[in-house]
Chains A and B, each alone.
Chain A
Amino acid sequence: METLDLRSQAERSFTRRTFIKGVIAAGAVVSSSAYLFRTNGSSASAQAPGSVERLITLRVNGQERRVDVLKQETLATTLRYKLGLTGTKIGCDRGDCGACTVLVGGVPTYACSLLTHQVRGREVTTIEGLANGDQLHPVQQAVYDEGGFQCAFCAPGFIMSMVGFLQQNPSPTIDEMASGISGNICRCADYPKILKSAMRAAENMRTV
């Protein structure tokens, strides 16, 4: 019965006005960032144990790339805006869609939900790193042969998930395949064709 009491208490104590006041006050919050975006060098606590240097070396698609990375920068942002690898898409920026999927150490990972500083020293593979010149990766070839995808904004992420999953399970059943790539949304909902492409990709991978 406590619930009922709380309800009426809530109604009494809470008006639209308090809510609105809350909203408006929020607009006046003082910015906590000190515009350190473009400043160089280390910040005050840079010498503390575990502190992180901004200038780092990343291993992306087999190449070493020196890059200046903010502490709060996600891997998706670094790839897209600092390394020019725009094949990695940002669909939701919250790990809800999979468009930003890349491989980190071979494992499918949402690049929107990972700091670039977390992948130092680990091999990052993006969609741009799959094909060998004009020679498509076997998974890409399977997708091509099936005429895969519609708008294809999800395609790079899906393909990376397929590559990562097939490394772990080279001979999946169709249900396993679907589960393996279930961390990617296709809003066109072209799932039957994606799944068909993925099963063909499995075949291609086994015969490489």
Chain B
Amino acid sequence: MAESNLIGQDIVSRDLVAKITGRAKYAEDYRAEGMLFTKLLLSPLPHARVVSIDLSAALAHPGVIAILTADEVPQDEFPFEPCLTNEPRYEGEPILAVAAVDEMTAADAIELIRIEFEPLPFAIDPLDSLRPGGPNATLMGNAYLGREVGEVKWEQSVFDAAGPDGMPMGPTEDEWEFGEGGVEAGFAKADVIVEEVIYSHSATHHPLESRTAMSYWQNGKLYIHCSVQSVAQSRRAIADRLGMPFEDVVFVSEFCGGGFGSKIRGSVTEIIPSLLSKKAGGRPVMMRVTRNEETAFGRARPGMQGWVKMGFRRDGRMTAMDLYLVQDTGSYARQGDTSTAADCASLIYTPETMRFRTVTVLTNTPPRAAQRGPGGAQGVPMLEPVVDRAARQLGMDRLEIRRVNGPTAATRFGRGNTQLTSCYAPEALSRGAEMFNWSERSARSGQRNGSKVTGVGLAFSTYYGGTSGWDGLLVIRPDGKLYIHQGVGNLGTHAVMDTARAAADVLGSDWEDCEVVWGSSSLHLPHSSTSSGSQTTHAHTRANHAVGMAMYGLLQELASLELGGSPSSYAVGNGRVYRIGSPGSGLTFAQAAQRAITRGGKFSGAVLPDDINEMTRNSATALAGQGLIAAAKDTYPHTARTYSFVATFAEVEVDVETGMHRVVEVTTVADCGTVVHPRSLAAQANAGVIQGMGFARSHKWSIDPTWGVHLTKRLEAAKPPTILDGPTQYHFAAVDLPDPQNPVGAKGIGEPPVGAGSGALLCAIEDALGGLYGSHTPMSPDKVLSIYENEGRVASGRLAIHV
């Protein structure tokens, strides 16, 4: 087999020219003959029932073509989220859609609709909903009990005991505990115990490209152009939502303007133009989703309110962690963020004993979804400042306490006693400390220069690093090129291009002789993972390696049949299959493709492996006869859990007269296995850290508690980070040691930098404030100033939500 020559190289993604010249087509860039435009009528109330709708004037408005209401779209049992509803559960939930010749006509028509609502009780803050007699977000109840929704109310005494700034902790729905004797025994062994109220806010994902979609029907097939993180899996999801076979959906999402978890399999609203188009006789319908609408139904990170207690021995070892979290899951599906936060905590601190309790509450706020680093991105910044406090009490270095508790390759962690495929966390911490010059810098902590106080912090974060078992699909065509088909999404991580290198490397192909095929199901894509949860790099280097090996075998076999000798006497490289020892004897890829077409059977895609997914089979079958075709499922062993690790170090200067801070320097080191694309990896890591810092300091949402209405419908109010909110220099390094359960050694990187960034920033600010309360986001200037002026008091209250 050829030496790896593409893994580890900086190769500019081929789609970059399109992106920087304006030629790249995102969903709203497609045009079709006779295209209509749709505007949505969104619920003005956080919870209501539609009593009556009078569409007559709107329908009579010149230029209106069709109006779609909730009665005409799939409606199923809760928590199924319909694309249009007659019982809106949050302000901004779509109620109906008007298709007209242009947007202004559609908007004017909506103003002609007479709609009567019956307001229903609504809940905005989970804790309010848990109070005796508190409002329920749904008519079924206010909290998840397993998969069902029921009513959970706590006794008044629970709230009384907590006091105004304490966390009320009533009975929870989900609870686990591990370690000998449980946390009680763990705390008994502790020399230092710290406890704290912790809080992480909800916030809209706000990809820069909203979830715009355009659809039309032709010859019984649905054509849909939209903005999603994953192509193969979104095609399936859209088909499921419409109750049709995925083969009848032509799904196009060549470029995706960001998702961050909000567009993993697309959104339910994307079927609105499909259904409207059907109603309009197949005419194309463009649904341009505005920022206002993106705020409403574009998904958000679940917030959480909680409490943690940690016990440490004098040597810094964590003997017990007791974590209690109330999750705000919004108006529909149950999110797993609090559980993931607990899992991440059990891995980054490997406590000897741990208890976790959680309850997931429904509120009449936008539906939640995983947001980059789900769970970890909330857990790390909530918990790391508390660990710092323990270190201060122990008189221990804050890096050392993380080293003492952090995982190693031998670690078994959590309630499942889980084993890791690899772990170079100690190396990441050491490398980061060295690059950042931790020992020297941390000595500057608290130094004051006028009103500016130096703070130094670090945070250690983790996340699942990849799945397995997906398919790969390759075609060598008579033009001699290797076509690598990818059903993952093109959301900017470059994974759609970079994971293809695994197949090229197996076959010793020049990158110039490879073409990545992606972005439209009409190009016949394999069953690929979603591009989410840091899984793609791991999953699809494996799948592409597997299919590369399958192609290698086919080339050997084909050469043996064509030229004689055993298959194993042939090798593949540089666009040829050739006899080992006499490289002149062999076939070029172009020749191999021709012979494969002639021979048919397993060479041309006519006969396929049994274990590949139906989607891959259909795609390969559609391609059959066009060249030498290999399809394969990744069946490489995956016997433990794959996790990546990130350590971020930050120095800040907090101005205690204004509450403003300046990030002086940031250093990040990742253990994410072998580096596939160095520049892209550094960009993922640094940008994840910046997103995290942005989340920790300014990016937020605000929902008025009295009226249940969103007030942060503009980016100016939602405040995602700008280019001026961090330093101009970021330092990054990867440990670059291979994971043994990935054929190229790679693990994922997308998620863990977010928690590391937000955690490092909060720890550094807390440090500058002399250890005053820091487990709270967003740590905006007003809060920093309040905490400094009022010795740890947060003006809005430590548990105030949606502020």
Q: Note whether A and B contact each other (Cβ less than 8 A).
A: yes
User: Which residues of the partner chain A approach B683 to less than 8 Å between Cβ atoms?
Assistant: 147, 150, 190, 192-193
Chain A residues with CB under 8 A of B10: 147
The answer for the CA separation of A159 and B20 in the assembled complex, in Å, is 8
A39 CB to nearest chain B CB (Å): 11
Among A29, A84, A149, contact of B111 (Cβ-Cβ < 8 Å): A29
Per the bound structure, the CA–CA distance linking A194 and B690 in Å amounts to 13
Stretch at the interface among B441-449, B617-625, B651-659, B726-734: B726-734
- Identify which of residues 16-59 in chain A touch chain B, using a CB-to-CB cut-off of 8 Å: 16-17, 19-20, 23-24, 26-31, 33, 35, 37-38
Q: A90-B28, A152-B20, A178-B724 are in contact. Are A144 and B12 (CB under 8 A)?
A: yes
CA distance A194 to B683 in the complex (A): 10
Interface residues of A in 117-164 (CB under 8 A from B): 126-128, 130-131, 136, 140, 143-156, 159
A186 sits at the interface (CB 8 A): yes
Q: Is the CB of B13 within 8 A of A35?
A: no
- Residues from chain B with Cβ under 8 Å of A17 in the complex: 119
Chain A residues near B16: list those with CB within 8 A: 143-144, 147-149, 152
- Asked if B549 CB lies within 8 Å of chain A CBs, one says no
**Within 8 Å of chain A (Cβ to Cβ): is B639?**
no
Please, how many angstroms separate the alpha-carbon atoms of A99 and B209 in the complex?
Answer: 9
Q: Which of A155-208 contact B (CB under 8 A)?
A: 155-156, 159, 174-175, 178-179, 181-182, 184-195
**Secondary structure type dominating chain A contacts:** loop
User: Assuming A91-B209, A94-B716, A150-B683, is B20 touching A128 (CB within 8 A)?
Assistant: no
Tell me which residues across on chain B come within 8 A of A190, comparing CB atoms.
Answer: 683, 686-687
Find out whether the CB atom of B13 lies under 8 angstroms from the CB atom of A156.
no
Which residues of B are found within 8 Å of A68, using beta-carbon distances?
A: none
CB distance from B207 to the nearest CB of A (A): 6
Known interface pairs A151-B258, A152-B24; A86-B29 also in contact (CB < 8 Å) = yes
B724 & A92 in contact (Cβ 8 Å cutoff): no
- A149:B20 contact, CB within 8 angstroms: yes
Chain A residues near B31 (CB, 8 Å)?
84
Q: Are A33 and B104 in contact (CB under 8 A)?
A: yes
Residues 703-742 of chain B: 1 if any A CB is under 8 Å from the residue's CB, otherwise 0? 0001100000011100011111010111000000000000
Give Cα distance in the complex from A189 to B687, angstroms: 5
Q: Are B63 and A35 within 8 A (Cβ)?
A: yes
Instruction: Give the residues in chain B near A149, CB-CB below 8 Å.
Output: 16, 19-20, 492
- For B728, list chain A residues within 8 Å (CB): 174-175, 178, 195
Q: Which of A28, A185, A191 has the most CB of B within 10 A?
A: A191
The digit string for B676-705, where 1 denotes a CB below 8 A from any CB of A, is 000110111011101100100000000000
Q: Contact: B25 with A20, CB < 8 Å?
A: no
Q: Known interface pairs A92-B715, A148-B20. Does A27 touch B115 (Cβ–Cβ under 8 Å)?
A: yes
Chain A residues in 8 Å Cβ range of B114: 27-28
Q: How far is the CB of B290 from chain A (nearest CB, A)?
A: 6
Instruction: Compute how far the CA of A190 lies from the CA of B45 in the bound complex, rounded to whole angstroms.
Output: 37
User: Which one, A31, A80, A147, contacts B13 given CB within 8 A?
Assistant: A147
Known contacts A16-B119, A96-B716; A187 and B111 CB within 8 A of each other: no
State how many angstroms separate the Cβ of B751 from the closest Cβ of chain A: 14
A151-B257 contact in complex given A27-B113, A94-B714, C-beta closer than 8 Å: yes
Interface centre among B22, B104, B715 (most CB of A within 10 A): B22
Report chain B residues within 8 Å CB of A195. Answer: 723, 728
CB distance from A24 to the nearest CB of B (A): 6
Nearest-Cβ distance from residue A82 to partner chain B, whole angstroms: 11
A94 surroundings in chain B (CB, below 8 A): 291, 714-716
- CB contacts under 8 Å to A, within B480-522, are 491-494
In the bound complex, do residue B729 and residue A147 qualify as a contact, i.e. CB atoms below 8 Å apart? no
Report whether B258 and A187 are in contact in the complex, using a CB–CB cutoff of 8 Å.
yes
Is B61 in contact with chain A by the CB < 8 A criterion? yes
Counting chain A CB atoms within 10 Å of each CB, which of B29, B290, B683, B728 scores highest? B683
The interface centre, meaning the residue of B25, B113, B116, B691 with most chain A CB atoms within 10 A of its CB, is B691
A184–B720 Cα distance when bound, in Å, is 11
Which of A23, A33, A152, A154 has the largest number of chain B CB atoms within 10 A?
A152
Interface centre among A90, A174, A188, A190 (most CB of B within 10 A): A188
User: B209 contacts A140, CB within 8 Å?
Assistant: no
Of A97, A127, A136, A189, most buried by chain B (CB within 10 Å of CB) is: A189
Residues of A within 8 A of B258 (CB): 150-151, 153, 187-188
Interface hub of B108, B208, B290, B720 (most chain A Cβ within 10 A):
B208
Interface status of A87 (Cβ within 8 A of chain B)? yes
The 0/1 profile, CB within 8 Å of A marked 1, for residues 240-265 of chain B is 00000000000000011110100000
Tell me if B151 is interfacial: C-beta within 8 Å of chain A: no
Q: How far is the CA of A202 from the CA of B729 in the complex (A)?
A: 17
B62 touches A185 (CB 8 A): no
Q: Residue-by-residue, is B103-127 near A (CB-CB < 8 Å gives 1, otherwise 0)?
A: 0110011011111110100000000
Q: How far is the CA of A191 from the CA of B683 in the complex (A)?
A: 9
Q: Check if B45 sits within 8 Å of A192, measured CB to CB.
A: no
Most A C-beta atoms less than 10 A away, residue of B10, B19, B113: B19
The contact of B61 among A35, A89, A156, A187, by CB within 8 Å, is A35
Distance between Cα atoms of A155 and B111 in the complex (Å): 36
* Cβ of B177 to closest chain A Cβ, rounded Å: 38
| Whole-angstrom CA separation of A143 from B283 in the bound complex | 39
> Which among A92, A127, A174, A182 has the greatest number of chain B C-beta atoms within 10 A?
A92
Chain A residues with CB under 8 A of B23:
87, 128
Give which listed residue, B45, B102, B112, contacts A37 with CB less than 8 A: B102
Q: How far is the CA of A147 from the CA of B25 in the complex (A)?
A: 19
Beta-carbon contact of B729 and A144 below 8 Å:
no
Task: Let me know if A85 is at the binding interface, CB within 8 A.
Answer: yes
* Distance A51 CA – B492 CA, assembled complex (angstroms): 46
Measured between alpha carbons, how far is A142 from B714 in the docked complex, in Å? 32
Could you pull out 10 A-B pairs where Cβ atoms are within 8 angstroms? Answer: A35-B63, A38-B63, A94-B291, A136-B20, A144-B20, A174-B728, A185-B715, A191-B721, A192-B690, A194-B723
3 closest A-B pairs by CB: A87-B22, A153-B257, A151-B492
Binding site for B on A (CB under 8 A): 16-17, 19-20, 23-24, 26-31, 33, 35, 37-38, 70, 80, 84-94, 96-97, 99, 126-128, 130-131, 136, 140, 143-156, 159, 174-175, 178-179, 181-182, 184-195
Supply 7 further A-B pairs (C-beta < 8 A) apart from A149-B19, A152-B255, A192-B690. A31-B109, A87-B21, A88-B22, A94-B716, A152-B492, A153-B26, A190-B686
Q: Which residues of B contact A (CB under 8 A)?
A: 10, 12-13, 16-17, 19-26, 28-29, 31, 44-45, 61-63, 101-102, 104-105, 108-109, 111-117, 119, 206-210, 255-258, 260, 288, 290-291, 491-494, 679-680, 682-684, 686-688, 690-691, 694, 706-707, 714-716, 720-724, 726, 728-730
